[in-house]
Amino acid sequence: MGGEDFPDDKKRHTKRAAGRKADKKKQKEPHKQELTAKQRNPKAFAFRSAVSAARTLRRSQDIKERKTHIPVIDRTPLEPPPIVIGVVGPPKVGKSTLVQCLIKNFTRKTLTNIQGPVTIVSAKKRRLTFIECNNDINCMIDLAKVVDLVLLLVDASFGFEMETFEFLNICQVHGFPRVMGVLTHLDMFKDTKKMRKTKKTLKNRFWTDVYPGAKLFYLSGMVHGDYQRMEVHNLGRFISVMKFRPLTWKQAHPYILADRMEDLTGAEAVRQNPKCDRTISLYGYVRGVPLRQDTPIHIPGAGDFRVSSVDFLPDPCPLPDRATKSRRSLTERDKSMYAPMSGVGGIVYDKDAVYIELGGSHSHRGKPTDTAAAEPPRDGEHQEGAEEEEEEDEDQQLVSSLMTSQHTIDQKMEEAQLQVFSGQQPISSQDAAMKLHYETVAGEDGRSRRRVLFDDTGEVGEDSEGDGDGDGDEDEEEDGDEEAENSEGEVEEDSDDEAMEDSEEEDADMSLNNPAAKPASNGLSNGSPGGSGEEDEDSSEDEEGDAALTATAVAPRQNARQLHKLIYGTDPGSAGAASDAAAEQEEQEPEVGGLFRVVRAEQRDRSGRDETDRSLPEPDGRHLSRWQTDEGRACIADCFVTGEWKESENASALLALDEDGMDEDDELDGDFEDMETGEKHEAAPPEPADSDAEEQMPVKKEDEQMTRKQLLEKKKKLKAMFDAEYDDKEGSSFYDDLKRDLDQQAQLNRSEFDGLEDELRVQFEGYRPGMYVRLEVASVPCELVTNFDPTIPLIVGGLTTGEENIGYVQARVKRHRWYKRTLKTRDPLIVSLGWRRFQTLPLYSVQDHNGRNRLLKYTPDHLHCTAHFWGPITPQGTGLLALQSVSDVSASFRVAATGTVLDLDKSVQVVKKLKLVGTPNKVMKKTAFIQGMFTSVLEAAKFEGALCRTVSGVRGQIKKALTAKPAGLVRCTFEDHIKLSDIVFVRTWYPMEVARLYAPVTSLLLPPADKARWQGMKTVGQLKRERDIRVQPDPDQLYTPVERRPRQSRPLQVPASLQRQLPYADRAKLGVGNVLAGPGQQHERVAVVLQPREQKVMKMMKTLRATYDVQQQKRRGLAQDRAKKMVDKRKADIERFEKRQKRVRKHVYKMLALNSGKKSGGGGGGGGGGGGGG
């Protein structure tokens, strides 16, 4: 920005256009073509093919379109909250070191023990909150929902770990924050080539998960346990300039990353019951959207609560003053840091207390002599340089002045004086106290009541006494109203509820001083006494008092402020009114017979709470006649197009202007002249404001001139609008229009309440993002306080309308492809949805073509299915993440499923297929009696008319349930004759119920050691495995091996008659051979008689084999001998060796003993030598 303000005022070099030098140049350089090729020869560049041209265009349009995003309204406020930077990664990758280095980089301070979020000022308009995420999946999920930027640390020497991918998946589901990868441990690589390769592979993998081109930072090495300064500095600069796209969830919900928590419960209550519910206060910057008072919140890991009060506090880590504009960089003093959980931040102002951190017991004694070398954790605030000593002194003085003060604060307050108006007596606290006395009066119901008494005016006492007789004791508080009641004749008694009492007593004098106080336009407010009682002077003075003019008629002026008070002051119909029930009962009514009370007519409808519910007020005809008169019509004359128009919209004026515009020269001259006349009268204006009677003319002229100028501008604008509408420019697409509209809206959002006081602003807007607030939350489980661990992020997530309710959620889910197991219907699953983490029992289903949700037993592979579960109502389209357990750190991937919410309802329609099976009892032609399908007539009667089917596909219908035996017999007709052995089915759909389990994961309430070990409901499988329960299956349903006997066909029997006709060859033979071949017979052995030559060969072979066998046997024997010898030799060797060893050892021990004997204990050297020898 700064650079643009100062134009480069160096004189630029201008080339000679003529002269000697120019000629020379011209000669030197050949003539250059000014026209481009396309201009010179347009034909060559014409389309050669319409198809390719179309393709080119399509492609270019594609690329252009891909760049566009749906425009969103940027709701970041002018002074945004610090950017949350989560440092995430598996253990031992250097997260803490990085946070320390970054903090040191930005603030020049060293924080050794970081706990919880650390907020620092990093630039003139940017603050950062660093938070480290430990290796707990609960923390990872919670943090992913609130961080704006993630520094994802990866140990490069090891590679990616499952945690990294788990976290990326969590991020994808809950809206992707900015992710910047940081590779550490790069110094572990000895080989640079290997390092380069690893970097590249890691980068590519990272890009596939984040987006191509995502920034991956390299931290190459360590210097004295820190990362290299320049690298950290560069990383810091990247962080400082990073831009963020608003995320849907964060743009719709307020949230706070609490950086401090205090327990406000009374010590006594805790002492009596250490387990009592606590009241805590949480501190932090509001983020997202404005946080409203009384908004329901969810603290992930603890549960749903309601904020009992919100206050905004001064910013503990403010952005540097805007006044010092000239400086570009931060001064040392602006580099503040705020980390209360880590013990940084000197003085903390609370709503009702101021905490001052004293740097040890001796800090107040005097100035520390060596500020520069002060211990960082002791007084982190006061570590600036020598030039900031004065400031430091201020702080010290503040503390020491408190210490040296002679009087108590009460005393001082008494002496203090306040001057409200100049020239008035200052009011001291005694004055205020003087005026207010009270006496205690015992009320009729035994309640002691404090009546206000004024000693100087005496008004109240008289007033109350005067009226007290009529209406009983109830009227004393609202004397202000009394007058009004008297004048208006409207009885207003209901406002005196007990809740209001105390406050009303206090401002009773205020309303009394205000004689005009009366209900504002009671025609408008049918019974809203509270608001009227509290009006102050200015609201009442412009009340016109025309009581006759009611709302239906030409109503009195509704002053906005007055209206606001009227509407939002107090409302008799709501909360406050609860207690006037009691008051009503107390009133003494005339009794009938001591039992019944007579209902008076006016009593029935005093508050107007039982008035007719009508949206239009009752018409009042009295004032309508006004519109028949001329003056009546005159006052709305210009509401019609026929009436007068504004100068800027007046057609005749605009036409006249047009004519002026025609001859511009004249216009200019005229203007000039006008200016002259204007100048002539210019001398007058300084004094004229009061003496405008004579000066009216010139002023008017000037006005005319002004309006003319304005009109010209207006005309230009109109022209531009016309052009924009009718000239087909490329800039005016739907997309651009939408973007412009949203920009305008964003501008309005920022500017609408700007400049309003914060106290007022929060009323309209809520606590806007960027404010530092203190939330008070009541009835929090004590474990949240007792088991508080600052390293675990404590998030307060605001819930919008309807989100505090519970209902059936329908979500589209897909089992994660890296998750090893399938998910089973009705198995407990931990779901992270919206702010919440909870365990629930989902049913999985798939939608059939007719829209029916059919139950699935298991999640399908690589397919989406629908999950129905009982859970918090969360807007549709919200991401959802499911885990089976948050406690086990398994080696595999933990994210079980991901999905989005589709629908929310108070009932579910999931059905399960149920086949009723029966068998025919008796089959007629097409009618069959089916048994075994139903158990009773009643049951069967329900299914009359149902369609059924046999296994073979014959369709039929159940006609009638029969009373005959067996019970549940039905008569069916089929389209064809069925067999008795058929099985008949009826296909039915059975509605399933979703189990109503919603168990928030209360990981924050667990003791620190168990924080990551939350155990919810276990799956049936888990329980069975743990307790070693095995299901005894129904033996019918077991698969048994099918035993099939080999088929034995009967012997072929050819009838004798047929035999006889066959030719002989084909006829069965019943001779001897056949008989022998039969199964019962044995073949007789046949003697083999050898020829002499054969005998010779046989003999030869026999001898050869015998000789070979003998040879082999001999050889084997020799080998065995050799082996045995070898073994013996070896054994002897070992024996010998051992013997020698023994001897040597003996010798050594002897020597050792000798040596130790010689120099008692000094035989170390000898011993060492001996050992070496052994």
Partner 1 sequence: MSQAKNSSALSYEGCKNFRMRIVLSTLSGKVVKIRKFRGRNDDPGVDESEASFLRLMDKLTNGTRIEVNETGTSVTYVPGLLAGGQLEHHCSKKRGVGYYLEPVLMLAPFCKKPLHLTLHGVTNSEVDPSVDQLKHSCLPVLRCYLLLADEQLQLKIVRRGMAPGGGGQVLFSCPVQRTLRATQWLDAGKVKRIRGVAHAARVSPAMAGRMVDAAKAVLLRLLPDVYIYTDHYKGDAAGKSPGFGISLVAETTTGCTLTSDVTSRPQGSDGPPSVPEALGTEAAERLLDEIYRGGCVDSLAQSTMLLYMCLGQKDISKVKLGQLTPYTIEFLRHVRDAFLTTFRIENVLPTEEEEDLKLGGEKLTLTCLGAGFSNLSKTVS
Q: Which is nearer to partner 1, 306 or 450 (CB)?
A: 306
Q: Distance of CA 722 to CAs 293, 590, 645, 715, Å?
A: 46, 77, 21, 10
Q: Measure the CA–CA gap between 649 and 1062, rounded to whole angstroms.
A: 123
| CB 811, CB 829: distance < 8 Å | no
Name which position in 282, 904, 910, 946 contacts partner 1 (CB under 8 A): 904
> Dihedral (C-alpha) 673, 674, 677, 679: value to the nearest 10 degrees?
-100
Segment (H or E) for 607: none
Closest separation in Å from C-beta 296 to partner 1: 6
Is 648 a residue that touches partner 1 (CB under 8 A)? Answer: yes
Could you please report the per-residue DSSP string of 1070-1122? -SHHHHHTSTT--PPP------HHHHHHHHHHHHHHHHHHHHHHHHHHHHHHH
- Residue from 190, 614, 820, 1047 in contact with partner 1 (CB under 8 A): 614
Site for partner 1 in 781-800 (CB under 8 A): 800
Candidate residues 61, 733, 876, 1059; the one interacting with partner 1 per rule CB under 8 A? 876
Q: Which of 40, 557, 729, 1115 binds partner 1 (CB under 8 A)?
A: 557
Query: Does residue number 1003 form part of the binding site for partner 1 (CB under 8 A)?
Result: no
Measured distance CA(487)–CA(517) in Å, rounded:
11
Closest CB to partner 1 among residues 820, 906? 906
Shortest distance, CB of residue 474 to partner 1, whole angstroms?
Answer: 17
DSSP label at residue 934: -
Indicate the residue among 559 and 921 with the shorter CB distance to partner 1.
559
Kindly state whether residue 588 participates in binding partner 1, applying the rule CB under 8 A.
no
Peptide bond into 966 cis (omega under 30): yes
Q: Is the CB of 5 or the CB of 649 nearer to partner 1?
A: 649
- Residue 1109's closest CA among 1117, 1098, 1120, 1121? 1117
Q: How far apart are CA 439 and CA 452, in angstroms?
A: 7
User: According to CB under 8 A, which residues from 515 to 534 bind partner 1?
Assistant: 523-526, 528
Nearer to partner 1, 808 or 934 (CB): 808
The Cα 867–Cα 501 span in angstroms is 53
Instruction: Count how many residues are written for the chain.
Output: 1174
Alpha carbon 865 to chain centroid, angstroms: 24
Considering beta carbons, is residue 320 or 685 the nearer one to partner 1? 685
CB under 8 A: which stretch of 396-404, 459-467, 509-517, 628-636 binds partner 1? 628-636
Distance CA 494, CA 1115 (A): 127
Single-letter residue type at 755: G
The answer to whether 952 and 982 are in contact (CB under 8 A) is yes
Q: How far apart are CA 604 and CA 610, in angstroms?
A: 8
Which window, 312-320, 433-441, 476-484, 613-621, contacts partner 1 (CB under 8 A)? 613-621
Nearer CB in complex with partner 1: 542/669: 542
Report the distance separating Cα 222 and Cα 608, nearest Å: 77
Q: How far is the CB of 1038 from partner 1 (least distance, A)?
A: 43
Q: Which of 117, 222, 112, 168 is nearest to 895 (CA)?
A: 168
Phi/psi region, residue 294 (left: phi>0; alpha: psi -120 to 50; beta: rest), is left
State in angstroms the smallest separation of the CB of 799 from partner 1: 10
657 lines the binding site for partner 1 (CB under 8 A):
no
Residue 849 binds to partner 1 (criterion: CB under 8 A): no
Q: Which stretch binds partner 1 (CB under 8 A): 157-165, 875-883, 1034-1042, 1142-1150?
A: 875-883
> Could you give the dihedral angle defined by the CA atoms of residues 742, 746, 751 and 756, in that order, rounded to the nearest 10 degrees?
130
CA-based nearest residue to 795, from 361, 102, 443, 298: 298
* C-alpha–C-alpha distance, residues 781 and 302, integer Å: 8
Range 1-5 contact pairs with CB under 8 angstroms and sequence separation of 24 or more: 2/328
Give whichever of 436 and 997 is closer to partner 1, judged by the CB atom: 997
Q: Is 638 in the site for partner 1 (CB under 8 A)?
A: yes
Q: Which of 22, 402, 409, 634 binds partner 1 (CB under 8 A)?
A: 634
Sole binder of partner 1 in the list 208, 422, 574, 850 (CB under 8 A): 574
Q: Least distance in Å: CB of 745 to partner 1?
A: 5
Q: Is 763 in the site for partner 1 (CB under 8 A)?
A: yes
Confirm or reject binding of residue 637 to partner 1 (CB under 8 A).
yes
Kindly tell me which of 299 and 1012 has the beta carbon lying closer to partner 1.
299
Which residue in the set 266, 515, 573, 966 belongs to the binding site for partner 1 (CB under 8 A)? 573
Dihedral of CA 550/556/557/561: which sign? negative
Three-state secondary-structure class, residue 777? strand
Size of the site for partner 1 (CB under 8 A): 108
Tell me: does residue 78 bind partner 1 (CB under 8 A): no
- Residue from 306, 729, 1114, 1136 that binds partner 1 (CB under 8 A)? 306
User: Binding of partner 1 at residue 754 (CB under 8 A)?
Assistant: no
List binders of partner 1 among 369-428 (CB under 8 A): none
Phi and psi dihedrals of 777, rounded to 5?
A: -120, 125
Question: Residue 466 or residue 802: which is nearer to partner 1 going by CB?
Answer: 802
Within 36-75, the residues that bind partner 1 by CB under 8 A are 73, 75
Figure out which of the listed residues 313, 547, 555, 983 binds partner 1, where binding follows CB under 8 A. Answer: 555
Specify the residue, 6 or 640, whose C-beta has the smaller distance to partner 1: 640
Check binding of 554 to partner 1 (CB under 8 A).
yes
Residue number with CB closer to partner 1 (870 or 929): 870
1160 binds partner 1 (CB under 8 A): no
- Residues within window 731-750 making contact with partner 1, judged by CB under 8 A: 745, 748-749
647 touches partner 1 (CB under 8 A): yes
Between residues 163 and 493, which has the closer beta carbon with respect to partner 1? Answer: 493
| 172, 109 Cβ separation under 8 angstroms | no
Euclidean distance between CA atoms 591 and 1140, whole angstroms = 128
* CA separation for the pair 1119, 1097 (Å, rounded): 33
| 546 touches partner 1 by CB under 8 A | no
Residue from 873, 916, 948, 994 that binds partner 1 (CB under 8 A)?
873
CA distances, 372 to each of 226, 383, 398 (Å): 22, 6, 21
Told to check if 1171 binds partner 1 by CB under 8 A, we report no
In the region spanning residues 591 to 610, those forming contacts with partner 1, defined by CB under 8 A, are: 599, 603-605, 607-610
Smallest distance, partner 1 to C-beta of residue 733, A = 17
Q: Does 567 bind partner 1 (CB under 8 A)?
A: yes
